[in-house]
Amino acid sequence: MSELAVEGVHTYYGDSHILQQVSFALGEGRLLGHTLPIEGIAGDQQAALFAAGGAKATFGTGSFVLVETEEPAREGVLRTAAARLDGEPAKHALEGAVFVTGAAIQWLRDGLGLIDDAAESEQLAASLADNGGVYFVPALAGLGSPHWRPDARGTITGLTSGAMRAHLVRAALEAAAYQTRDVLEAMPKLELLRADGGMSRNRWLMQFQADVLGIPVETAREPEQTALGAALLALGRRQASPIRERFEPQDDAERLYAGWREALRKTLA
């Protein structure tokens, strides 16, 4: 990583991102009737990683998985700069981008009318004893990390006459967890994953994510970790954001993950 200083602005160039940490106010903005200086700029995922510390997955329309490490990138993931404070050595991370996670739930709601609200997905998934062998590979915009197949198209497998809307909804939630594991398989082994973003409020999904990974998953008290990370950078303070809830692995999900890999194989064939 190289550094360029221009009129008090320190710009750090990483492998695939440009991050900035500034030494004076760039401007000002209004918040709750107060005028506040703007004193920091960072890439969105780098800011979220800075707030989470170590390794994080942001669950939104799509998902971004970042792990801070100096290891070189393996096939399927990117090596990027990680935000740092003044005086700290250069830091890097591995990054994987999943194109469709929350967008799959939106499609079930807006495209198919299977649910009225995204929050309904948690209750429907929890109403089932298992997934009934139904898998949904949500390649609605191709597949991102670690496959990088823009030509891939969505696939639903395992449908029988016993499949209900709850099975499709659960399959969409499961897919978010499976795709996160697919990315992490190309990264150093973790002992803990921090989760943020709107889908991290889905407790069924977070428990399933812990089961699929076989490690604890902690959700952030503040789901908007990008904003929090940017604020911490502006303050020059490195500290992990407060935890909302911790999910310990409870069930062995290897059989379910094997079914996902088979559905994925059919999609990519």
Grade residue 233 by pLDDT with cuts at 50, 70 and 90: confident
Strand residues in 14-104 grouped as ranges (E)? 18-22, 27-31, 34-38, 55-59, 63-68, 78-82, 91-98
- Does this model's pTM top 0.75? yes
pLDDT averaged over the chain?
89
Ramachandran angles phi, psi of 196, nearest 5°: -145, -175
Q: What is the pLDDT of residues 60-71, one digit of tens each?
A: 999 999 999 999
Q: What is the pLDDT of residues 161-206, one digit of tens each?
A: 999 999 999 999 999 999 999 999 999 999 999 999 999 999 999 9
Residue 229's region, left for phi above 0, alpha for psi from -120 to 50, else beta, is alpha
Distance CA(63)–CA(57), nearest Å, equals 7
Lowest mean pLDDT among 143-152, 191-200, 224-233, 244-253: 224-233
Grade residue 40 by pLDDT with cuts at 50, 70 and 90: low
CB atoms within 10 A of CB 99: 19
pLDDT (average), residues 233-258 = 93
Q: Which of 188, 184, 65, 208 is nearest to 130 (CA)?
A: 208
Say yes or no to pLDDT of 87 above 90.
no
Say yes or no to pLDDT of 25 above 50.
yes
- Residue 79's SS3 state is strand
Say yes or no to pLDDT of 76 above 90.
yes
Structural domains of the chain, ranges and CATH numbers in brackets: 44-232+239-268 (3.30.420.40)
Say yes or no to pLDDT of 19 above 70.
no
Grade residue 24 by pLDDT with cuts at 50, 70 and 90: low
